[in-house]
Amino acid sequence: MIDLTRLEVFVYAAENLNFHKAARHLHLSQPTISHHIKALETDFGVDLFARCGGTLKLTEAGYLLLPWARRLIHQAIEIQQIMDSLHEEVAGHIRIACSTTTGKYVLPQFASRFHQRHPGVRVSILQCTSEHVVPHLLEQEANLGVVSRDVCGDEVRLQEFFDDHIVLVTPSGHSWASRECVEPSELVDVPFIMREPGSGTRRVVLAELGKHDISLADMNIFLEVGNAEAIVKTVEAGYGVSFISRPAAAWALDLGTVVEVPLAGVDLRRKIFMVRNHIHEANRAVEAFWGFVHDPSNADLLFLAER
């Protein structure tokens, strides 16, 4: 019989490649960690870790075991949650894989409000790229996901979450700051800061600008950044202009250090979706959160996301 405690120790050690960090996270001594790993290796008859020049590495057997160990631990947790739910209390741990900037701003407030209603539920928000959300769901590493594109397939189910507004922002002292709007053709003449390849914001912007015969090659993109806050700070400092999700720029817009400038004839709204595994049966906590996001009491949070 596989010992789940030993598997949990293995997962933390494998993810950190450091027994000391695993010991600290699990509140165990390092010798105890080493004992559990050695016992697991004895049970399986293989080495799971190898030391190379003082560096800890996974063996081939360790790489093979890691995803299965994660899955078994998640399933054990969900079994406990199902049993707990028989006591008429919504309880458990919800893991939400989030690939959108806006989701990062909105989800913590939804999760906090949900916890107030269901104190027995803990929520973890996992930041990841859009292409990793569905695999996380299918591998049961996440219960829910937030994505900026419609995903297809029999394995997943999705619902509309909210509309995200992507806006053109300039420094407060920029010549465009006092304009009622600018024409798309004017975008080719200014230093531009763009989100990184693969970003949902970048995908929407380039698709919409393509309707006006503007490509990436036409623009003066001098900097690509994979962090919305860093982009806003760079615009605020006067180095260029950018497209950004409005909630990410809200603090600077409120301060007046950056200015939102309308772009004539361009609609940069995008749908944000919540997605879940359609094959794997959800526990009560996941079902409750799935319905909670559109509870009338949360209209104010959706308004903040869409304003």
Per-residue pLDDT of the chain in tens (307 residues, 90 and over written 9): 778 888 888 888 888 888 888 888 788 888 888 888 888 888 888 998 888 777 888 889 888 998 888 888 877 877 776 676 665 578 888 999 998 887 888 899 999 999 999 998 999 998 888 788 888 888 888 999 998 876 766 788 889 998 899 999 999 999 999 999 999 999 998 999 999 998 888 989 999 999 999 998 999 999 999 889 999 999 999 999 999 999 899 999 999 999 999 999 998 988 889 999 876 666 788 889 998 988 888 888 877 776 6
| Angstrom distances, CA of residue 209 to CA of 36, 56, 66, 78, 149 | 56, 48, 43, 45, 18
| Cβ atoms of residues 145 and 236 within 8 Å | no
Would you state the pLDDT for residue 139? 82
The CATH number of residue 34's host domain is 1.10.10.10
Q: What is the phi-psi region of residue 48: left when phi exceeds 0, alpha when psi lies from -120 to 50, beta otherwise?
A: alpha
Would you state the pLDDT for residue 70? 86
- Per the structure, the count of domains in the chain is 3
CA distance 136 to 133: 5
Burial of 272 (0-12, 13-18, 19+ CB in 10 A): buried
Would you state the pLDDT for residue 175? 94
Query: Do residues 171 and 259 both lie within one domain?
Result: yes
H-helix or E-strand containing 1? none
Query: Do residues 76 and 95 both lie within one domain?
Result: no
Print burial letters for 220-229: b (CB count within 10 Å at least 16), e (below 16). Answer: eeeeebeebe
Tokens of 300: 């104010």
Print burial letters for 203-219: b (CB count within 10 Å at least 16), e (below 16). Answer: bbbeebbeeeebeeeeb
Would you state the pLDDT for residue 213? 93
Tokens of 156: 């997943």
Would you state the pLDDT for residue 214? 93
The CATH number of residue 207's host domain is 3.40.190.10
Query: Do residues 154 and 286 both lie within one domain?
Result: yes
Tokens of 276: 């879940």
Angle (nearest 5°) at CA 170 between 167 and 174: 150
Pick from 268, 261, 262: which is nearest to 170 by CA? 261
DSSP E strands in 108-200: the ranges are 121-127, 144-147, 156-171, 191-195
Query: Do residues 101 and 245 both lie within one domain?
Result: no
**Which domain range does residue 23 map to?**
4-81
Query: Do residues 276 and 248 both lie within one domain?
Result: no
Tokens of 94: 């919800």
Query: Do residues 240 and 116 both lie within one domain?
Result: no
**CB proximity list for 84: less than 8 A, separation 6 or greater:** 91, 92, 120
In the three-class reduction of DSSP (H, G, I as helix; E, B as strand; rest coil), residue 214 is classed as coil
Calculate Rg over the CA atoms of the chain: 23
Query: Do residues 158 and 289 both lie within one domain?
Result: yes
Query: Do residues 11 and 146 both lie within one domain?
Result: no
CA distance 118 to 34: 38
Would you state the pLDDT for residue 90? 81
Query: Do residues 104 and 252 both lie within one domain?
Result: no
Strands 269-277 and 156-171: antiparallel
Q: What are phi and psi of 156, to 5 degrees?
A: -125, 155
Query: Do residues 20 and 95 both lie within one domain?
Result: no
| Cβ atoms of residues 18 and 33 within 8 Å | no
Strands 144-147 and 191-195: unpaired
Query: Do residues 183 and 145 both lie within one domain?
Result: no
